[in-house]
Amino acid sequence: MSNGDLQPIVVKGRNCWRIERANKARMIVDAADYYALLERLMAHAKERILLIGWDFDPRIALKPDKKGEGESLGNYLLRLAKEKPDRDIDILRWNFGGLKQFAIPRILSMIARWKLTRSISFRLDSAHPVGCSHHQKVAVFDDHLAICGGIDVGSRRWDTREHKDGDPRRTAPDGSAYMPWHDSTMILAGPVGSALADLGNERWQRATKKPLRDLDGKGENWPDDLEPDFEGVDVAISRTRAEYDGCEEIREIEQLYLDMIAAADRFIYFENQYFTCGKIAAAIAERLNEDDPPEFVMVMPQTADGWLEQMAMDAARVQLVREIAKAKHGDRLKVYYPQTKRGEPIYVHAKTAIVDDRFLRVGSANMNNRSMGLDSECDVTIDAALAANEGVEPTIARLRESLIAEHLDVKEEEVAATFKRTGSLITTIEALRGKGRSLELLDLVPPGPMDEFIAENEVLDPTSPDAMFEGFTERGLRKSWHLGRNWMKRHRPFGRGKR
């Protein structure tokens, strides 16, 4: 199939902010590879290192040794500042999480040392309504090379694609072991990197009331030994931003989720931390009421991280999946969680989506209400239907095969061969699932009364800043569900490809 047979899913002004050229792009899976790459990119940056995120922990080691120890990120940045004092190191993180960290002496001490270093600027981002968070994970180097995805530069994130049981390198700064962790991000060079620099510069100015200094612009610094997945492709950038301080609301990410569900012909493969958005769930259910719908595969955590998150997110996920199962072809949705060889759950923090092997999306946005209208988010997408992207489908298919092979602990060739033979993503996974390290079907245990109340009323996962202050009768999963169902009924023809 040529891309001339497809309608683009990404449309500037509808579901994305900008579509820009990436001279080179590569998907990075799991934080071990990302942190090692980040260390190199920061060392080679000539004029500026800009780090923007939800979390940032200066105590972590980017390349932990066999004991989980190594030079801390904080000390590494101090060393970089000493080696090249005319290079700016600008760090912006969400204010609420940052203020909590100030109670940790090691972090407070490091921030104080940064404050005494002229080239390092560490700021907290509070430029959002009450109850919202800054959730983007963006790094930009010299305004040309950028990283955008789901991996925070924080504690309890580092892991390899092997997700080994008892790996001593998975040691938190407090000395405790943490669970295996799966994540993803994307490195991009060229005009799209400059566009993400614009996004970062805008966010910095909104948060600090001061602009970043202009740069001379001295190249991309793509690592010579890093093989790109894509070259010369157009990449869409989509955002979420709540209305605040004169800036209008942006819901590009929500629109892109709905449009990709409407456009799917054969399947959508999701990796995501949460699934609590009633509008997205209803859109999937509406598709599954069709005579020959696509398949939907979700790879998610077994449970959310944290007691409050479990009450709000797990209960809503169960309710939505159970409701989708009532659709005419409800069995074409399967929700799995990965586990290690010893059966320990692997936490899925990635926010990745692949549609029909013609559309790859990587970013910070979860499939929850917060990512649709509250928190600041940023996703990047490669759509084969864009003129510059003809022929990228095999690469997207290879990346999907690599992800599924990682979770099932099989070779990518086995995934490819089984999918070619069956034509079904679900049948492929079911055929290759086994004991030990593999994918397990999510157990849809009914939530308790309190969990159900919190989930039904979206108490911890409202659809907008205003919704946090609405009465329970004016919001909830049922209202979101009806909105999604009605949208899909009106817009189903949008972006439909060909089998």
Residue of 461, 470, 468, 457 whose CA lies nearest to 130:
468
| Banded pLDDT at 485 (limits 50, 70, 90) | confident
CATH number listed for the domain at residues 3-231: 3.30.870.10
3-231 and 239-491: same fold? yes
The reported pLDDT for the residue numbered 445 is: 63
Interatomic CA distance for residues 48 and 50, integer angstroms: 6
The reported pLDDT for the residue numbered 309 is: 65
User: For residue 151, what is the enclosing H or E element?
Assistant: none
Q: What tens digit of pLDDT does each residue of 151-163 get?
A: 999 999 999 999 9
Q: What tens digit of pLDDT does each residue of 145-204 get?
A: 999 999 999 999 999 999 999 999 999 999 999 999 999 999 999 999 999 999 999 999
User: For residue 440, what is the enclosing H or E element?
Assistant: strand 438-441
pTM metric for this prediction: 0.92
Alpha carbons within 13 A on the beta-carbon side of 140: 30
Backbone angles phi, psi at 213, to 5 degrees: -70, 155
Interatomic CA distance for residues 328 and 286, integer angstroms: 9
Residue 185: CB atoms within 10 A of its CB come to 30
Answer for the pair 206, 103: CB distance below 8 angstroms, yes or no. Answer: no
Query: Tell me, what DSSP letter sits at residue 292?
Result: S
| Banded pLDDT at 86 (limits 50, 70, 90) | very high
- Which residue did the predictor score with more confidence, 476 or 355? 355
Q: What are the residue boundaries of the structural domains of the chain, listed by start?
A: 3-231, 239-491
The reported pLDDT for the residue numbered 459 is: 46
State the CATH class of domain 239-491.
alpha beta
Q: Provide the phi-psi class of 477: left if phi over 0, else alpha when psi is between -120 and 50, else beta.
A: alpha
Of the given ranges (9-18, 152-161, 303-312, 315-324), which has the lowest mean pLDDT?
303-312
